[in-house]
């Protein structure tokens, strides 16, 4: 048996946990590095790494059935839309069930990762050590680096991004204030709905540039995203036509609530999941305004010519895709554009895999799990991607399928329809990748695996999972110990 490649996993959120579990299934030696003292990433409320965007009242917008991992069904007793504390407990259960914590290096994030000539990675971590691995798996997420609009002028009041919002008293005292919330995504809808409750004595205004289609969490007495399960066999273009009028049927026209008519059709931009926002607008608790034209001291001028005074502006304007451990010239995502094969592989860099860099509708957790399983097959040598040229062709075709119908913006560069993606991976990509292995062998993932300590000595990495791969070694084509989610196509 040939030594298997050693793997560095960055992050212990959803992506890092499922990647770690999948690598363990194949017996691949790996280490997971996490800057925080706990698992859960974005779902660890008050995460000391400062990267969690969870606010105190946050409930997930995906219903529990679609949220559930294939390998560990979500507890049946949880409500349809769990609170962030319940999601975090579920992730802790996942880590405990599959014995992941012992391989996670907590409080020891990756500070810098450099690809070596000839392959492999030199990884510098917070403990001051430099380690070497054959493969790098990046799962640091993309909802932690706040994105701000560039409005002309200046604002004299207080400003925060929704990323930093905790509740009406933290980090700012948002009681009895004149508040402007910029944005109309899910976080904006939640924050506006919370701050506009009369008990807080606020005057709340919502500003939106493009409008949004508002979809309640429950449709016809069931979680609305369950309807997506009835459509996977229908071509995506037909699906969009079939459900184009759904928001109007279940919620009415946005204009009836003072919102601008969206400048796009339904599913040409992210819909906003909220059962409360329209009630707040219809009750007069929130005033809707169009886009901001400029900031004028304690006032804000909107593009319709109206001018209002505010004490606080809350920007719910999304996030940047950021890799703080890479040199910018090596890999970055300008305007959040990051073309990847199957949202995972960068043509020309065969020892790098990215997991979780997508906006998967209607569900993210099993999408990331699907990616992690494909990643582990790749490292184990049972799956091989096509040539770089073919990857580039497929990237363009996939973006036309999943992104082409969306309104162009930094928010919509990573769109994926989960059910068609999963079907493609299981029915086409995995069998085709196995045939490519049969024809060409596995991709050579080789590097000098070791840890360079302060005295220059080198020791192997990978814990107890196996031996490091030597120079030029190929991955052993082993099958995993557990393959619960690989059995078929859903």
Report the CATH number that the domain containing residue 365 is assigned in CATH: 3.50.50.60
Mean pLDDT of 149-158: 97
Mean pLDDT of 24-48: 97
Q: Of 265, 291, 317, which closes a domain?
A: 317
pLDDT, one tens digit per residue, over 365-422 is 999 999 999 999 999 999 999 999 999 999 999 888 766 445 555 555 667 888 889 9
The whole-model pTM stands at 0.88
pLDDT, one tens digit per residue, over 429-445 is 999 999 999 999 999 99
User: Do residue 181 and residue 241 come from a single domain?
Assistant: yes
pLDDT band at 460, cuts 50/70/90? very low
User: Do residue 124 and residue 22 come from a single domain?
Assistant: yes
> Alpha carbon of 22 to those of 90, 118, 152, 485: distances in Å?
17, 26, 48, 10
Residue 447: the pLDDT is 45
The number of helix segments (H) and strand segments (E) in the chain equals 11, 27
The tokens for 432 are 């085709």
Count of C-beta atoms within a 10 Å radius of residue 93: 13
- How big is the chain, counted in residues? 490
- Does 1 map to a domain? no
Mean pLDDT of 133-161: 96
pLDDT, one tens digit per residue, over 250-290 is 888 999 999 988 887 777 777 899 999 999 999 999 999 99
Considering only CA atoms, which of 359, 350, 351 is closest in space to residue 321? 359
pLDDT, one tens digit per residue, over 220-244 is 889 988 876 655 566 656 666 667 7
- Does 278 map to a domain? yes
User: Do residue 287 and residue 306 come from a single domain?
Assistant: yes
Residue 224: the pLDDT is 83
User: Do residue 269 and residue 291 come from a single domain?
Assistant: yes
Mean pLDDT of the residues in the chain:
87
User: Do residue 22 and residue 138 come from a single domain?
Assistant: yes
Considering only CA atoms, which of 379, 479, 348, 487 is closest in space to residue 426? 487
User: Do residue 382 and residue 445 come from a single domain?
Assistant: yes
Considering only CA atoms, which of 302, 336, 311 is closest in space to residue 160? 311
Tally of domains within the chain: 2
Q: Of 291, 317, 343, which closes a domain?
A: 317
Percent of the chain residues topping a pLDDT of 90: 72
Considering only CA atoms, which of 323, 331, 319 is closest in space to residue 42? 319
Residue 144: the pLDDT is 93
pLDDT, one tens digit per residue, over 14-29 is 999 999 999 999 999 9
Give the Cα separation of 35 and 423 in Å (integer). Answer: 34
User: Do residue 326 and residue 308 come from a single domain?
Assistant: no
59 backbone dihedrals φ, ψ, rounded to 5°:
-115, 145
Q: What is the CA radius of gyration of the chain?
A: 23
pLDDT at residue 79 above 80? yes
* Domain membership of residue 258 as a residue range: 148-317
Residue 409: the pLDDT is 55
Residue 137: the pLDDT is 98
Mean pLDDT of 186-199: 97
Which has the higher per-residue pLDDT, 211 or 197?
197
Residue 266: the pLDDT is 79
pLDDT band at 454, cuts 50/70/90? very low
Considering only CA atoms, which of 134, 126, 138 is closest in space to residue 29? 134
User: Do residue 405 and residue 292 come from a single domain?
Assistant: no
210 backbone dihedrals φ, ψ, rounded to 5°:
-115, -5
Give the Cα separation of 362 and 249 in Å (integer). Answer: 20
> Alpha carbon of 260 to those of 206, 263, 301: distances in Å?
11, 8, 17
Percent of the chain residues topping a pLDDT of 70: 84
- Does 2 map to a domain? no
Q: Is 134 left (phi over 0), alpha (psi -120 to 50) or beta?
A: alpha
pLDDT at residue 351 above 80? yes
Q: Of 317, 340, 361, which closes a domain?
A: 317
């Amino acid at each position: 048996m040939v030594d298997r490649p050693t793997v560095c996993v960055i992050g212990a959120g959803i992506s890092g946990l499922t990647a770690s579990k999948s690598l363990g299934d194949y017996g691949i030696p790996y280490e997971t590095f996490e800057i925080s003292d706990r698992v859960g990433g974005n779902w660890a409320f008050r995460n000391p790494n400062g990267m969690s965007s969870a606010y105190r009242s946050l409930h997930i917008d995906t219903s529990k059935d679609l949220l559930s991992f294939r390998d560990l069904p979500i507890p049946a007793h949880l409500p349809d839309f769990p609170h962030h504390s319940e999601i975090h407990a579920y992730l802790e259960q996942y880590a405990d069930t599959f014995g992941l914590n012992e391989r996670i290096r907590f409080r020891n994030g990756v500070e810098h990762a450099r690809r070596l000539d000839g392959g492999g990675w030199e990884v510098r971590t917070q403990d001051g050590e430099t380690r070497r691995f054959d493969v790098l798996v990046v799962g640091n997420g993309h909802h932690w680096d706040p994105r701000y609009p560039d409005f002309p002028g200046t604002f004299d009041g207080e400003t925060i991004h929704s990323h930093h919002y905790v509740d009406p008293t933290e980090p700012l005292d948002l009681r009895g204030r004149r508040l402007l919330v910029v944005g109309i995504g899910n976080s904006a809808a939640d924050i506006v709905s919370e701050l506009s409750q009369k008990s807080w004595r606020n005057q709340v205004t919502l500003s939106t540039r493009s409008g949004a289609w508002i979809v309640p969490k429950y449709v016809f007495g069931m979680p609305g995203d369950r309807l997506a399960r009835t459509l996977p066999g229908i071509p995506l273009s037909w699906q969009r036509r079939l459900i184009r009028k759904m928001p109007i049927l279940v919620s009415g026209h946005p204009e009836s609530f003072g919102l601008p008519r969206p400048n796009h059709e339904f599913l040409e931009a992210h819909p906003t999941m909220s059962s409360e926002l329209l009630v707040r607008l219809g009750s007069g608790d929130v005033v809707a305004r169009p886009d901001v034209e400029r900031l004028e001291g304690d006032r804000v001028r909107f593009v319709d010519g109206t001018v209002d005074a505010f004490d606080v502006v809350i920007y719910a304007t999304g996030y940047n895709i950021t890799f703080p451990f890479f040199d910018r010239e090596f890999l970055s995502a300008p305007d959040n554009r990051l073309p990847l094969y199957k949202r995972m592989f960068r043509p020309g860099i065969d020892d790098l895999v990215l997991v979780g860099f997508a906006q998967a509708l209607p569900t993210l957790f099993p999408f990331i799990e699907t990616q992690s399983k494909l990643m582990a097959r790749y490292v184990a040598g049972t799956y091989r991607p096509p040539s770089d040229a073919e990857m580039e062709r497929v990237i363009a075709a996939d973006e036309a399928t999943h992104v082409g119908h969306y309104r162009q913006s930094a928010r919509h560069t990573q769109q994926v329809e989960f059910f068609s993606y999963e079907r493609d991976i299981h029915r086409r990509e995995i069998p085709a990748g196995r045939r490519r292995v049969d024809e060409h062998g596995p991709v050579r993932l080789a590097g000098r695996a070791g840890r360079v300590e302060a005295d220059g000595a080198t020791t192997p990495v990978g814990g107890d999972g196996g031996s490091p791969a030597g120079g030029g070694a190929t991955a052993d084509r082993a099958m995993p110990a557990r393959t619960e989610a690989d059995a078929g196509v859903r």
